[in-house]
């Protein structure tokens, strides 16, 4: 009986995972060349009904950046006319910003910006901005 319940719970977890995460192809420009990679991309819906994309390692807020306590951030020239405010935020939080293209679940190409933390954790920069905007000084 315990085995059956455990299997049922695992099935539910993976069913949610399959609906919210999908394998896709990404494209970045590096050193003036297109580089393609197959990755698992997951959807993150926020309470204000916004949809963002995160790496599988950040799915369900499992990565450190989505768990990090908010502190006041002083970002020099955050709203200046040069440079992306989101890229500046990403850099201040210790990430590496990147513009990337990906295929959505309908195989249509989309362009977005993401912030990498370590080798595998990334979140869309617009998600970081929405979560940290009240902390930026």
* Mean pLDDT for the stretch of residues 115-120: 96
Structure confidence at residue 14 (pLDDT) = 42
Burial (CB count <10 Å: 0-12, 13-18, 19+), residue 92: middle
pLDDT > 70: percent of the chain: 87
Kindly report the pTM of this predicted structure.
Answer: 0.82
Nearest to residue 116, comparing CAs of 45, 31, 18, 30?
30
Which sequence spans correspond to the domains of the chain? 21-135
* Mean pLDDT for the stretch of residues 96-124: 96
Handedness of CA 29, 34, 35, 37 (dihedral sign): positive
Q: 25-64 pLDDT, tens per residue?
A: 999 998 999 999 999 999 999 999 999 999 999 999 999 9
């Amino acid at each position: 009986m315990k085995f059956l319940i455990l299997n049922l719970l695992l099935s539910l977890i993976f069913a949610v995972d399959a609906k919210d995460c999908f394998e896709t192809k990404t494209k970045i420009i590096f050193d003036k060349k297109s580089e393609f990679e197959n990755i698992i991309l997951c959807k993150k819906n926020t309470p204000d009904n916004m949809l963002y994309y995160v790496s599988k390692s950040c799915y369900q807020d499992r990565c450190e950046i989505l768990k990090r306590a908010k502190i006041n951030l002083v970002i020099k020239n955050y709203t200046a006319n040069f440079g992306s405010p989101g890229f500046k935020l990403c850099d201040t939080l210790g990430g590496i910003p990147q513009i990337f293209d990906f295929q959505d679940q309908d195989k249509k190409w989309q362009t977005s910006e993401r912030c990498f933390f370590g080798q595998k954790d990334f979140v869309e920069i617009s998600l970081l901005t929405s979560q940290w905007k009240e902390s930026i000084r």
